Structures are given as structure tokens and as C-alpha cells.
Amino acid sequence: MSTASSVTSPADPMPVAPPDPVLPSGFRWGTATAAAQIEGAAETDGRGPSIWDIFATEPGRIRGGHTPAVACDHYHRSADDVRDLAQLGIDEYRFSISWSRVLPEGRGTVNQRGMDFYSRLVDELLTAGIRPVPTLYHWDLPQALQSAGGWLERSTSDALADYAAIMVDALGDRVHQWWTLNEMNVHTLYGHALTDHAPALGMGLDCMPVAHNLLRAHGLAVHAIRAAGDHHEVGVVQQHFPVHPASDSPEDVEAADLFRILTNWTFADPVLAGRYPDDFVAELVATSAGLTAGQLEDDLGVMSEPLDHYGVNYYEPTVIEAPKPGKDYSGILEVDFPADMPFSPVRIEGVERTDFDWPVVPSGLTEILRTLHERYPGLPPVTITENGCSYDDGPGPDGAVHDVRRIDYLRAHLTAVSEAIAAGVDVRGYYVWSAMDNFEWAAGYGERFGLVHVDFDTLQRTRKNSWYWYRDLIDRVRHSR
Ligand code: BGC
């Protein structure tokens, strides 16, 4: 006689957990943040203002009128935050250094109290068994340097190199891996070609000297770090994404090609191949920056110093078409392009979207990694230095944050990474953006990318379910064969 309890009804199956991404047991796990997005303490201990502090005071710039003045108050809570990272079990933590906290004027006298904060943070991380991997520049130029011309000035690259040397000198006994700059393409496009980010110059293609000076700053920083000894490893963090034409028409293909060149290859080719992607871009840079052919060549030599790591940030692919007269292209991407640009974005249909309205396309990550691998024969080992999603889940009645969609997103993107590895791309690590909810630039505190929920009234932190999922995944993969 059978008993009811031994029968599993086919109509009521046990939920089957999706399989883990197949990753090597030595894979490096991490999370990432940036100074302006989490630290707060904007005027504490002698810090000077950055361009984001000034931008935030201008009406209408940031959603909700928010400012980075307090953010997550990580400056005062780093010990607790690092304890949380330790319990998460990550290998590496990517944070950025606020240049104007260390050098309030951008150059000159070091603000020792600001430097002490980073020194303490590094010690806390090392004590917790986490490798500190700082980014020197994550978009927060000291306002003093902006007032002197910012990234339109060649001398700003030299100032960054001096700052890099100061940081290696101060922390290099304990920090052995560095990221130079974050997403030069987004900083150039959003902050200098357009007005959506600080310093909101809105120069269109006239901003090309900014791209060149950022790339030169990267190269000079690599040089400064290398000068401190062979044991230092260095890389750059770039945002990359596949760009597809909306149709096979020659106009759309041409528009997509130009957009791809300007957003991806203008920033990667100088670093990885010592050239600008084509004559059009080289000419544009040389003319707008007032460089002779010889100077351009010399600068490309500086930009292409060999790297130990290549950081790839991935969020979404882009579909581009040649602008159609009268068509409304607003609201398709996070930023709108001026009507006279020769390319326009097309909304990607038929895919899920995050609460930031960004399309969820994990295969785009595999695709861009394979493209990089094919385009650059000497591509250094890759780390996914940012990947993540904004979902507005907060603590429910049970106190837990059931952010199922983030878990699905991360699992799918890590699977995409594993597929790239299987296809031969040397990907060594992955950092979730972000360790905690934070100041999401022009979107203020309205977009939540964190594994940890932050209540921006009380600054109370609550681990989301994705935090527990990520911890357990790290543990399982680390102990797999
Ligand atoms: C930036 C981060 C940002 C994230 C989500 C990246 O472009 O490096 O600072 O928060 O995307 O928008």
C-alpha cells in the first residue's frame, strides 16, 4: 500500500535551482564602488570640492536635487562596511580615491587627514583578507583643476600623473594593484560632449581633446606606478558594449560604425594598439588639441604602456540608426544626443528591463568579450570591473530584501562570462556593481545598484538576498574542482 507522503505530485514540482555558472575555482571575486558615490564627508577633514560637488549645487542637474555630500557616509563607516565585505567572502575590493580629498587643489600640498582615511581603509581591507584595488580617477576632478581648464588642458594629465605618484608612494607598501581611470568614454561623452554629467560642458565633438588628455593621463599614471617597482600591477577600467545597426541599410551601418568607433575603439585602440581607430578620429584629435603628427605619435606611445589587467565594465548593448527626420529619439538611452548628431539610438524591444529602464542582455557581455579578444591579440587578462543592475527593492514586512531580479541578472551575466572563457577569452575576475546602494550620478539616490540596501534617511544598511546568493556562489565556486 502506498502512502500519500511518498508521492510527489507532478503538478506541484519542487522548484529547481538554476545551475551555477561554470567558473574556475581560482576566479577572483569582488565588488566595486566609487568615492563620490559612497564616501560623503564632502567637506570633512580638509577635503576640497570636486566637479560633482559643484554640479550638484546647480538646479535641475540631479534628479530630486540630490547631492553627494553625505551619500552612504562610508567615510565614517568604512570599518563596518569592510566587515560586511569580509563576510561576503570577496577576494578583491575596487574602490576609488577622491583626488580632492588627498590634494584639495588637485596638485601641491597633500591633505594628510584625507590620505589617512585611505591608509586606514587599506589596512582594514588587508586585515579582512581582501586585496585593495583602488581606481585613481572615477570622474571626480578637483574643482580647482576644472577652474583651470579641466581635461581640456594637457597639464591636467601631468597633474594626474603627479597624484598617481603620490598615491603609490603613500600606499604602495600595501597596495600592489591599481586601476588608473574609470570609463574615459562615458566621462568624455556625458560630461564634456553632453551636459548630463559634471562638468557639463556640452561641446559635442569639439571635446575630443578631453579624450586625448584622459588617455594621456592614463599612460602617464601607468608610468608613475611602474616607476615604484615591478611588483605593482596596473590596468585601466573601460566601459564596453556591442553596437549594432538597426538595419542592414548602408546609412544605419555607417551610423553604427561611427558610434562604435567613437564610444569603444577611440578609447581602447590607443591603450591596446597604440593608435587611434582611424584617420578621421586621429585628425579630429590632432586638430582640436592642436597637436603635430609627431606629438600625436609620441602621445600614443605614452598611452599604450603595457598593462597587467584590462578592466571591462558592461551594462547594455546599443542599437543605432541614421537619424530619421522628425522622429523623436528622447528617452531611449539614459542620455539624449543633440539632433545634429549623425547617429541615433533605437529602443531594444523584446527583452527584460531594469528599473533604470536599461535592457537586460547578458549575451552582449559574451559578445563584447569575444570582440575584444579578436580585435586585440595582446589583450591582457580581463577583469569584469563592473556589472550590475538597478532594481528598487527594499526591505519587506519580514525585513528581508527579496531582490530576485538581481540574482537572475547576476547569474545570467556570470554565465555569459563563463561562455566567453569557454570561447578562449582570458577573464580572471568579476566585480559586482555595487557593494551598496549609492549616489547614482545624475539619477541621485533614485537608482539602487547595491548588494546591500541603504536607507538614505537613516543610513541603515540591510543585506539584500542577492548578497547572500553572491556569498554562497563564491563559496561554492571556490571549493569546486
Ligand atoms: C559607472 C558607475 C555607475 C554605473 C551605473 C558605470 O558607468 O562607472 O559609477 O554607477 O555605471 O550607472
Question: For 281-294, what is each residue's pLDDT tens digit?
Answer: 999 999 999 999 99
What local confidence, expressed as pLDDT, does residue 270 receive? Answer: 98
Tell me if the bond preceding 434 is cis, omega within 30° of 0: yes
What local confidence, expressed as pLDDT, does residue 14 receive? Answer: 65
Whole domain around residue 81: which residue ranges? Answer: 28-479
Pocket test residue of 98, 196, 433 for ligand 1, highest count of atoms within 8 A of CB: 433
User: Interior CA angle at 467 toward 461 and 471, to 5°?
Assistant: 130
Q: Mean pLDDT, to the nearest integer, of 283-310? A: 98
Question: For 339-354, what is each residue's pLDDT tens digit?
Answer: 899 999 999 999 999 9
pLDDT above 80 for 441: yes
Number of domains in the chain: 1
What local confidence, expressed as pLDDT, does residue 17 receive? Answer: 80
Question: For 72-104, what is each residue's pLDDT tens digit?
Answer: 999 999 999 999 999 999 999 999 999 999 999
d(CA 426, CA 431): 16
Question: For 101-119, what is each residue's pLDDT tens digit?
Answer: 999 999 999 999 999 999 9
What local confidence, expressed as pLDDT, does residue 474 receive? Answer: 98
**291 three-state secondary structure:** coil
Q: If pLDDT is split at 50, 70 and 90, which confidence band does 11 have? A: low
C-alpha dihedral, 170 to 173 to 176 to 178, nearest 10°: 0
Q: Mean pLDDT, to the nearest integer, of 399-408? A: 98
Question: For 29-55, what is each residue's pLDDT tens digit?
Answer: 999 999 999 999 999 999 999 999 999
Question: For 422-432, what is each residue's pLDDT tens digit?
Answer: 999 999 999 99
Question: Which residue do the cell numbers 541621485 mark?
Answer: 444
d(CA 78, CA 462): 15
386 an active-site residue? yes
pLDDT above 90 for 235: yes
pLDDT above 70 for 322: yes
DSSP class of 277: S
Q: Mean pLDDT, to the nearest integer, of 311-318? A: 98
Question: For 158-209, what is each residue's pLDDT tens digit?
Answer: 999 999 999 999 999 999 999 999 999 999 999 999 999 999 999 999 999 9
**407 three-state secondary structure:** helix
What local confidence, expressed as pLDDT, does residue 10 receive? Answer: 52
Q: Mean pLDDT, to the nearest integer, of 373-396? A: 98
What local confidence, expressed as pLDDT, does residue 16 receive? Answer: 78
Q: Is 181 a member of any domain? A: yes
C-alpha cell at position 115? 590620505
Active-site hit among 39, 92, 124, 183: 183
Q: Is 112 a member of any domain? A: yes
Q: If pLDDT is split at 50, 70 and 90, which confidence band does 456 have? A: very high
d(CA 390, CA 380): 29
What local confidence, expressed as pLDDT, does residue 13 receive? Answer: 60
> For residue 182, which amino acid is it?
N
pLDDT above 70 for 3: no
Q: Is 18 a member of any domain? A: no
Closest CA to 309 of 419, 218, 423: 218
Q: Is 36 a member of any domain? A: yes
Residue owning the nearest CA to atom 10 of ligand 1: 440
Centroid of ligand 1 to alpha carbon of 294 (angstroms): 35
What local confidence, expressed as pLDDT, does residue 200 receive? Answer: 98
User: Interior CA angle at 142 toward 131 and 74, to 5°?
Assistant: 45
What local confidence, expressed as pLDDT, does residue 6 receive? Answer: 42
183 an active-site residue? yes
What local confidence, expressed as pLDDT, does residue 5 receive? Answer: 40
Mean pLDDT of the chain: 96
What local confidence, expressed as pLDDT, does residue 247 receive? Answer: 98
Alpha helices in 304-403 (DSSP H): 363-375
d(CA 299, CA 1): 84
Q: If pLDDT is split at 50, 70 and 90, which confidence band does 2 have? A: very low
d(CA 351, CA 335): 20
What local confidence, expressed as pLDDT, does residue 12 receive? Answer: 56
Centroid of ligand 1 to alpha carbon of 79 (angstroms): 24
pLDDT above 50 for 383: yes
Q: Is 1 a member of any domain? A: no
pLDDT above 70 for 316: yes
Residue owning the nearest CA to atom 3 of ligand 1: 440
Percent of the chain with pLDDT over 70: 97
Strand 92-94 to 28-32 pairing: parallel
d(CA 444, CA 96): 18
Q: Mean pLDDT, to the nearest integer, of 443-466? A: 98
Residues whose CB is less than 8 angstroms from the CB of residue 25 and which lie 6 or more positions away in sequence, other chains included: 477, 478, 479, 480, 481
C-alpha cell at position 248? 542592414
Q: How many CB atoms lie within 10 A of CB 332?
A: 17
pTM of the entire predicted model: 0.96
pLDDT above 80 for 1: no
Residue owning the nearest CA to atom 9 of ligand 1: 34
C-alpha cell at position 313? 565594465
Centroid of ligand 1 to alpha carbon of 272 (angstroms): 22
- Which residues is 312 bridged to in the sheet? 238, 384
Closest CA to 469 of 129, 88, 81: 88
Centroid of ligand 1 to alpha carbon of 298 (angstroms): 31
Q: Is 380 a member of any domain? A: yes
Q: Is 144 a member of any domain? A: yes
Q: Is 201 a member of any domain? A: yes
Q: Mean pLDDT, to the nearest integer, of 384-390? A: 99
443 Cα nearest atom in ligand 1: 12
Closest CA to 218 of 164, 155, 263: 164
Centroid of ligand 1 to alpha carbon of 151 (angstroms): 20
**DSSP letter string, 198-219:** TT----GGGGHHHHHHHHHHHH
- Evaluate whether 200 touches 152 at the Cβ level (below 8 Å): no
Pocket test residue of 441, 445, 447 for ligand 1, highest count of atoms within 8 A of CB: 441
Residues with CB under 6 A from ligand 1: 34, 37, 182-183, 186, 239, 313, 386, 433, 440, 449
The CATH number given to whatever domain includes residue 123 is: 3.20.20.80
Q: How many CB atoms lie within 10 A of CB 68?
A: 26
Report phi then psi at 40, rounded to 5. Answer: 65, -145
Tell how far CA 168 is from the center of its chain.
Answer: 22
Report phi then psi at 454, rounded to 5. Answer: -120, 125
- List strand residue ranges (DSSP E) for 163-301, in order: 177-182, 233-239, 243-245
